[in-house]
């Protein structure tokens, strides 16, 4: 099934059903029986997909769900799940809005936009690993001078890497709920669901803020006529598809909201002469990094 033309949608990726259970109940989500590859639940304003454990599965599930929609500028995608924490000052069940993600295998780092102001939630950094990591492993191996992310999971980097291919930075969020302090305890499904239940009221508040923020960002015509001309000329020059044009406007909008600066003129890209369509794709990927 394909969801097209719907507005104000939240797309949520969780690794396990026990993490998703409180959201399915709270938002009255119904299982999509037509879904073949993943367990998917939905309502008129939310789609939740259960990816399975691991960053590869999270990336595949995220791409699966987002590739089935038209770019929706007032929607958002979130990875919500449990994590282990280095920090013992926060109790079990504390939700954390992630402001930095490091993939510990590749070394790549990702920085979600922190545009939500006056919101009651802890912020922190996240390290994504391929395997379960214990506190003793971290204390033995990480560079104390550089420091280490406060929270540990197995999905965040895979989710974010896939999500940024489809959504603008202001539309991508990672929320992790502290379930343990990396002491090696085996956590059962009931315990994990209980952790998510404790965090649910605060996460609901964050979801409401995200929905309002994304709708307001779209309603505001923040581009000047000159900026619109710049974006249209760039899109024409790079021979962007309609989908890529949406991406370009999403990223430009997020750039203005995040920095308060005007849209750059992209002269270095406009001056490049190319013939092959693939060259245009390469240039567009470079534009996305500006």
> Which segment of 97-101, 145-149, 191-195, 276-280 scores lowest on mean pLDDT?
145-149
State the helix-helix crossing angle for 242-259 and 225-237, rounded to 10 degrees. 140
Eight-class DSSP state of 173: E
Q: Quickly tell me which residue has 């993939």 as its tokens.
A: 103
Output the pTM of the full model: 0.77
- DSSP-assigned beta bridge partners for residue 110: 101
pLDDT digits (tens, 9 = 90+) for 141-196: 666 545 677 999 999 999 999 998 888 777 899 999 999 999 888 899 999 999 99
Per-residue confidence at 3, pLDDT binned at 50, 70, 90? very low
Do 213 and 231 touch, CB atoms closer than 8 A? no
Q: What is the mean pLDDT of the chain?
A: 86
Three-state secondary-structure class, residue 209: helix
**Helix (H/G/I), strand (E/B), else coil: 244:** helix
Element (H, E) at 22: helix 17-26
Q: What is the pLDDT of residues 24-35, one digit of tens each?
A: 999 999 999 999
pLDDT-based confidence at residue 116 (cuts at 50, 70, 90): low
- The dihedral built from the CA positions of residue 130, 54, 71 and 121, taken in this order, carries a sign that is negative
- Mind listing the pLDDT tens digit for each residue in 215-251? 776 656 678 889 889 989 888 888 887 667 777 877 7
More confident position, 113 or 187: 187
Q: Identify the top-confidence range among 76-80, 242-246, 268-272.
A: 76-80
| 268-276 contact pairs (CB < 8 A, 24+) | 269/234, 269/237, 269/238, 270/233, 270/234, 270/237
Which contiguous run of DSSP H or E holds residue 161?
A: helix 156-163
CB of 149 within 8 A of CB of 127?
yes
Q: Which position has the token pair 């089935």? A: 68
Residue of higher predicted confidence among 259 and 242: 259
**In the predicted model, what is the mean pLDDT of residues 5-14?**
79
């Amino acid at each position: 099934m394909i969801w097209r033309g719907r507005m104000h949608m939240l797309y949520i990726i969780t690794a396990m059903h026990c993490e998703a259970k409180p959201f399915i109940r709270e938002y009255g989500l119904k299982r999509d029986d037509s879904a073949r590859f993943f367990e998917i639940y939905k309502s008129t304003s939310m789609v939740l997909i259960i990816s399975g454990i691991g960053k590869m599965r999270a990336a595949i599930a995220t791409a699966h769900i987002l590739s089935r929609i038209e770019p929706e500028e007032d929607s958002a995608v979130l990875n919500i799940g449990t994590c282990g924490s280095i920090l013992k000052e926060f109790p079990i069940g504390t939700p954390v809005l992630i402001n930095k993600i490091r993939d510990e295998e590749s070394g790549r780092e990702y920085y979600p936009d922190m545009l939500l102001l006056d919101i009651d939630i802890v912020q922190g950094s996240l390290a994504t690993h391929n395997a379960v990591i214990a506190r003793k492993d971290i204390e033995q191996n990480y560079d104390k001078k550089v420091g280490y992310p406060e929270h540990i999971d197995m999905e965040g980097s895979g989710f974010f890497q896939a999500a940024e291919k489809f959504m603008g930075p202001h539309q991508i969020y990672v929320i992790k709920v502290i379930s343990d302090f990396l002491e090696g305890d085996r956590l059962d499904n009931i315990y994990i669901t209980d952790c998510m239940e404790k965090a649910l009221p605060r996460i609901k508040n964050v979801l409401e803020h995200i929905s309002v923020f994304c709708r307001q960002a779209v309603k505001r015509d923040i581009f000047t006529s000159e900026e619109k001309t710049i974006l249209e000329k760039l899109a024409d020059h790079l021979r962007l598809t309609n989908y890529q044009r949406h991406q370009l406007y999403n990223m430009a909008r997020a750039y203005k909201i995040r920095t308060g600066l005007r849209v750059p003129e992209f002269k270095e890209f406009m001056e490049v002469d190319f013939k092959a369509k693939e060259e245009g794709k390469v240039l567009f990927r470079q534009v996305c990094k500006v």
